Each structure stands twice: as C-alpha cells, then as structure tokens.
Structure 1
Amino acid sequence: MNIVVINAYVRENAGDAALLSVCLRQVREAFPDADVVIAGMEDAAVHPSFEGARNIGSIRRHVADGTVSLPRRLLRKALVGLAGAAAVTLPRPLARGVLRVLPAEARREADAVTRADLVVSMGGGYVLARPGLDGYQNVFFVLLPAMLAQKAGVPVVWAPQSFGPFPAAAQRRLVGRVMRRSAAVLPREDVSVGELLACGIPAEHIERAVDAGFAFDPERRIDWRARLGVGPDERLVGITARRWLPRPAQECYERELARTIDAVQATGARAVLIPQVSTDYLGDDDRICERRIAGHCTSGPLMVDEVVDYRDLKGLYDECTLLIGTRFHSVIFSLTSDVPCVAIEYEHKTRGIMADLGLGEWVIPIADVTHDRLWTLVEPLLKDPTPYRTILDRNLPGYLARARSLPARLREAV
C-alpha cells in the first residue's frame, strides 16, 4: 500500500513538525505495512527523510523556492499553475501527458499522489487565503495535489486542521469542490466548520475533530533546568512570541510583553523566551522578535537562542509553571503537560480550541495585547492555578482521546 502525506512544512516550526510526527505515527498505526512518503516544503536534497519517511519535495516548494530569483519563481508558478490546471480539467489520457512535462520535483509529487492508495493532507493551518493574488495562489497550490489525486480516483483525507478565511467567492467554490470530493474533512475548531459550510460543503460531510498536537508525547531527552541554570524549586514562566503585526503595532506588542516579563520576574519567577519557530523560510524566526523583547526588559529574561529539535522543545514546556503563548502549538504542548496558559490569538484556531477546552477567558487577540490586560490574567495564575487546572483536568482527557482517533478514520477512508 502506498500513502502520500502532502502539505508538510519545515521541521524548524516545532508545531508543524509535531503535527507531521503524529500524522506519520497514526498513518503507520492504521496501515503498518504501508510505504509512506512525504511531499513537503523541505528540500529533499537537504532533508531526504523525516522520522523514517522519504521526502520527495513538492509542487508548493518548487514554485515558492526562495533560493531562486523572483522572475524565476514567477515563471515556475505560471508554468506549473497552467499545467496543473490543465491536468485537473482535461480527460485522463491528456492529463497524464501534461503531467509528464512538469519539472522533476513537481512531477514527483504529481506521480506519487496519482499512483497512491491514499493521500493524507497533514494537520495545520494552511488551507486559507488572503486578499489579492497571493491568496488565490496559496489556495490553488495547496489544493492542487489533492485535485490530482481525486482525478486519479485516489481517496484524500484532510487531517485535523483549520480552514479559512476565504475572502473571494471563487476561492470558496474551489475549496468546496475539493472538499466535497474528499473521503474525510476534519476541521479542528467550530470557526473552520463555519468556513467550510460557507464553501457549500454539506454539514454531514464535515467531521469535527481535534488538533493532532494533543497526541504529541515524545520522550524527554534534555535536562532543561540544568541547561538554563534554573533550580529545581524555581518557577519558570515560558513566553512565545512571533512577528505578525504591522511595524508600529508589532513594536507595541513586543514592548507590552516585555513589561509583563518584568512583572513576572518581580514575583521571583524566572521568565524564558522560547522560539517555537526558528526557520529562515519566509523570515519566520521567533528568535528575532524575542531578542527585541529581551532588549526592552529591565531585568533580562532567560532565552533559548539556538535551534532546538521539536521533540526537545516539548520537554521545556513541561518544566514551566505557566505559559504566555502566542504560537498556539506552544500552548498545546503546555496544556498537555498540565501547564496553565494565557493564549495570544493571531488566527481563529486559538480562540476556537481554547473555547473547546473551557479556557476561552484566557485568550487575548494579538492586536489588543497590553501589559494591563495580560497581567489581569497572568497574576492570578501565578498565585493560584487551581481553578484553571480544574477546568483543564475535566476537559482535557476526552480531548486527548479524540486526538488519537485518526487511525480508525483513515482505515474507513480506504
């Protein structure tokens, strides 16, 4: 049996790496003898595999490759886009001929998904569009491997993930077309269910699911307290931050986080800035903004300033007393270790999943972050986390069980 996991991201994004790790484990649990390959955003020449699964590269990586010049990237998008559109609309014999003219990396993914027995689009938050041409391009290239698979009669499963927003009617029509033809569509929060309904997908075809990050439980390999120089009885408060807002608002967000870090450390706790994402792809490296935040602090926080394996980062969150988390998978990693979290929302996945767990009151939109608002939520948790943990202990076990249910659904899809 041949299975292709599509839309994988990069391992330096710890959340997406965890989702891919869980996806591969659950695919193998469902089909122990299957040959599983990955089509993702990592260069196969640099990263030929991930946790034992061969990486073949992808159409998306080929057309967005930042190592080539902008004119060349635009040419790739135009040629692959036209060939892909022709391949999903022409009769099968002609479509196969079109796919043979694709560049080698794009052709590898196209060949893999059209010859597979099952295609699984891993969890995440990438099926969305922004206003403008880039939004159309993202939707098209994200959906293209699934459309090619469906053209060949291969079942496609969308593992638990977020969907939307889709600002244009044409985007919603395309998403609706692909999802209606998929074997399973698994949104991970209610807002995504609404987005899918707006795309014309029947309610009975939408299966509400749980983010796979809740099923991520790697072995601990690092003594983080020794590495950070923190005593066994010292309280450790984790902070994750990211670049997201326009420059003036981003600076305000960073300065307000710095004020909160100072307040945390004034209580005797130690604050540590944790880079959940540390990739140079699209300039998405949390260490850059976290260095600025540290520079605004009057009492220097601890910092993790190196690239850390996604499995080892989970162990760091285990050591925290509290997390102030912008990157939402840092929140998930912490919640599964019974660590209370104040979540800073930049996409609807944050509020949706926190509300699922009964923790919606501990969410602040990123554009509304001020020290006063953060401290109103953080200070009580530092003094007494019991009410928070009571809610978490009541709601988390059932959530974890649902996060582990994908293997059975995959077997049903084939």
Structure 2
Amino acid sequence: MNIVVINAYVRENAGDAALLSVCLRHVQEAFPGADVAISGMEDAAVRPEFEGVPNIGSIRRYVADGTVARPRRIVRKVLLGLVGAAAVTLPGPLARAALRMLPTEARREADAVARADLVVSMGGGYVLARPGLDGHQNIFFVLLPTLLAQRAGVPVVWAPQSFGPFPAAVQRRLVGRVMRRSAAVLAREDVSVGELLACGVPADHVERAVDAGFAFRPERRTDWRARLGVGPDERLVGITARRWLPPTAQERYERELARTIDAVQATGARAVLIPQVSTDYLGDDDRVCERRIAGYCAGDPLVVDEVVDYRDLKGLYDECVLLLGTRFHSVIFSLTSGVPCVAIEYEHKTRGIMADLGLGEWVVPIADVTRDRLWALAEPLLKDPAPYREILDAALPGYLVRAHSLPHRLREAV
C-alpha cells in the first residue's frame, strides 16, 4: 500500500514537527508495512527523510523556495499555477501533457499523489487565505496536490486541523469542492466547522476532532534543569512569543510580556523564554523577538537561544509550573504535562481548543496583551494551581482518547 502525507512543514517548527510525527505514527498504526512518503516544505536534497520516512519535496516548496530570487519565485508561481490549473481542469490527455511540463520536484509530488492508495493531509493551520492575490495563490497551492489526487480517484483524508478564514467567494468555492470530495474532513474546533459549512460542505461530512499534538508524548532525552543551570526546587515559568502584529503593536506586545516577566521573577520564580519555532523560513524565528523581550526586562530571564529538537523541547515544558504561551502548540505541550497555561490568541484555534477543555477564561487576544491582564490570570495560578488542574484533569483524559482516533478513520477511508 502506498500512502503520501502532504502539506508537511519544517521540523524547526516544533508544533508542526510534532503533528507530523504523530500523523506518521497513526498512518503506520493503521497500515503496518505500508510504503509512506512525505511531501512538504523541506528540501529533499537537504532533508531527505523525517523520522526515517522519505521526503519527496513538494509543489508548494518549489514555488516558495526562499533560496531563489523573488522574480524567479514569481515566475515559478505563475507557470506552476497555469500548469496546475490545466492538470485539474483539462481532458485526460491534455492534463497528462500538462503534468509532464512540471519541473522534477513538482512532478514527483504530482506523480506520488496520483499513484497513491491514500493521501493524508497532515494536521495544522495552513488551510486558510487572506484577501487579494497572495491569499488566492496560497489556497490554490495548498489544495493542488489534493485536486490532483482526487482527479486520479485517490481517497484523501484531512487530519485534524483548523480551516479558514476564507474572505473571498472563489476561495470558499474551491475549498468546498475539495472538502466535499474528500473521504474524511476532521476539524479541531467549532470555528473551523463553521468555516467549512460556509464553504458549502455538508454538516455530516465534517467531523469534530482533536489536535494531534495531544497525542505527542516523546521520551525525555534532556536534563533541562542542568542545561539551564537551575536547581531542582526553583520554579520555572515558560514564555513563548512570536512575531505577528504590525511594528508598533508588536513592540507594545513584547514590552508588556517583558513587564509580565518582571512580575513573575519578583515572586522568586525564574522565567524562561522558549523558542517554539526557530526557522528562518518566512522570517518566522521566535528567538528574534524573544531576544528583544529579554532586553526589555528589568532582570535577566533565562533564554533558550539555540535550535532545539522538537522532541527535546517537549521536556522543557514538563519542567514548568506555568506557561504564558503565544505559540499554541507550546500550550498543548504544557497541558499534556498538567502545566497550567495562559494562552495568548493569534488565531481561532487557541480560543476554540481552550474552550473545549473548559479553559476559555485563560485566553487573552494578542492585540490586547498587557502586563495587568496577563498578571491577573497568572498570579493566582502561581499561588494555587489546583482549581485550574481540576478542570484540566476532568477534561484531558477524554481529549487524549480522541487524539488517538485517526488510525480508525484512515482505515475507514480506504
């Protein structure tokens, strides 16, 4: 049996790496002995495998390759957009002729999904669009491998993920077409279900599911307290931050986080800035803004300033007594270890999943972050985390069971 897992990201994004790791484990659990390949955003010439599974590259990676000049990337997007559109709309012989025009990496993915017995689009938050041309091209290239698979009669499963927003009618029509023809569509929060319904996907074709990050439990490999130089009795409070807002608002967010760190450290606890994402792809490296935040602090927080393997990073959250988390998979990593979290929301996945767990009151929108607002939620948790943990202990076991349901759905799809 041949299975292709599409839309993988980069392993320096620890959350997406965890989702890919869990997805591959679930695929292999559903179909022992299957031949599995990954198509994603890592260059196969540089990263030929992930956890022993071969990487074939992707159309998306080829058109977005940051190592080539911008004019060349634009030409790639235009040409592959035209060829891709021809391959999914023209009659069979003409469509096959169009596919033969694809460059090698793009053709590898196109051939793989067309010849597969099953295509699985891994979990995440990438099926979305913004207004304008950039939004149109993003959603087209995300969905193109699925369109090619569906044209070849290959079943497609969307592992648990977020969907939307889709501001344009043409985007909603394309998403609706793809999802209606998919074997299974799993949404990880109610907002995403609503987005799919607005795209014309029937309610009985959308399943509420659980983010696969809740099923990520790697073995501990690093003594983080020794690595950070802190004693066994020192309380650690984790902080994750990211670049997201316009410059003035971003600076305000970072300075308010710094003021909150000062409040944390005034209690005798140690704050540690943790880079959940440390890739230069799209300039999305948390260490850049976390260095600025550390510079704004009155007292020096601990700073993890190196690239950390996604499996090792999970162990650092295990050591914390509290997390103030912007990157939502840092929140998930912490919650699965029983660590109370105040979540800073930048996309609807944050509020949706926290509400599922009964923790919606511990969410602050990123544009509304202030020291006073964060500290009003964090200080009680430092003093007495028991009420929070009671809510978490009641909700989490059932959530974890649902996080392991994908193998069953994959077998049903085939």
Tell me which interval the TM-score lies in, with the shorter structure as reference length. over 0.9
Alignment partners' CA distance in 2, 1:213 and 1:373: 27
Amino acid at match of 2:159: A
Alignment of 1:287-298 (within 5 A): 287-298=287-298
Deviates more, 1:162-171 or 1:95-104: 95-104
Identity %: 86
Answering whether residue 382 of structure 2 is matched by residue 389 of structure 1, we say no
Displacement of 1:92 after TM fit? Answer: 2.2
Answering whether residue 328 of structure 2 is matched by residue 332 of structure 1, we say no
Other-structure match for 2:94 = 94
Alignment of 1:352-367 (within 5 A): 352-367=352-367
Other-structure match for 2:202 = 202
**Scaled by the length of structure 1, what TM-score is found?**
1.00
Q: Deviations over 1:24-65 (max 9, x none)?
A: 000000001110000000000100000111000000000000
Other-structure match for 2:140 = 140
Displacement of 1:110 after TM fit? Answer: 0.1
Displacement of 1:93 after TM fit? Answer: 2.6
Answering whether residue 196 of structure 2 is matched by residue 161 of structure 1, we say no
Other-structure match for 1:61 = 61
RMSD after superposition:
0.4
Alignment partners' CA distance in 2, 1:296 and 1:112: 49
Q: Secondary structure at the match of 2:125?
A: coil
Displacement of 1:167 after TM fit? Answer: 0.3
Structure 2 unaligned regions, length at least 5? none
Q: Secondary structure at the match of 1:85?
A: helix
Structure 1 unaligned regions, length at least 5? none
Other-structure match for 1:310 = 310
Alignment partners' CA distance in 2, 1:95 and 1:156: 20
Amino acid at match of 1:74: I
Alignment partners' CA distance in 2, 1:238 and 1:57: 34
Displacement of 1:274 after TM fit? Answer: 0.1
Alignment partners' CA distance in 2, 1:109 and 1:143: 13
Alignment of 1:14-413 (within 5 A): 14-413=14-413
Q: Secondary structure at the match of 2:150?
A: helix
Q: Deviations over 1:202-259 (max 9, x none)?
A: 0000011000000000000000001101111111000000000000000000000000
Amino acid at match of 2:260: T
Q: Secondary structure at the match of 1:323?
A: strand
Other-structure match for 1:7 = 7
Q: Secondary structure at the match of 1:220?
A: coil
Q: Deviations over 1:85-144 (max 9, x none)?
A: 011011223212211110000000000000000000000000000111100011000000
Amino acid at match of 1:370: T
**Scaled by the length of structure 2, what TM-score is found?**
1.00
Alignment partners' CA distance in 2, 1:289 and 1:185: 35
Alignment partners' CA distance in 2, 1:130 and 1:304: 33
Alignment partners' CA distance in 1, 2:299 and 2:212: 37
Amino acid at match of 1:298: A
Q: How many residues align?
A: 414
Displacement of 1:276 after TM fit? Answer: 0.1
Q: Secondary structure at the match of 1:321?
A: strand
Alignment partners' CA distance in 1, 2:24 and 2:293: 36
Alignment partners' CA distance in 2, 1:54 and 1:118: 16
Alignment partners' CA distance in 1, 2:74 and 2:325: 36
Q: Deviations over 1:301-357 (max 9, x none)?
A: 001000000000000000000000000000000000000000000000000000000
Alignment partners' CA distance in 2, 1:96 and 1:310: 40
Alignment partners' CA distance in 1, 2:227 and 2:91: 60
Amino acid at match of 1:317: Y
Q: Secondary structure at the match of 1:166?
A: coil
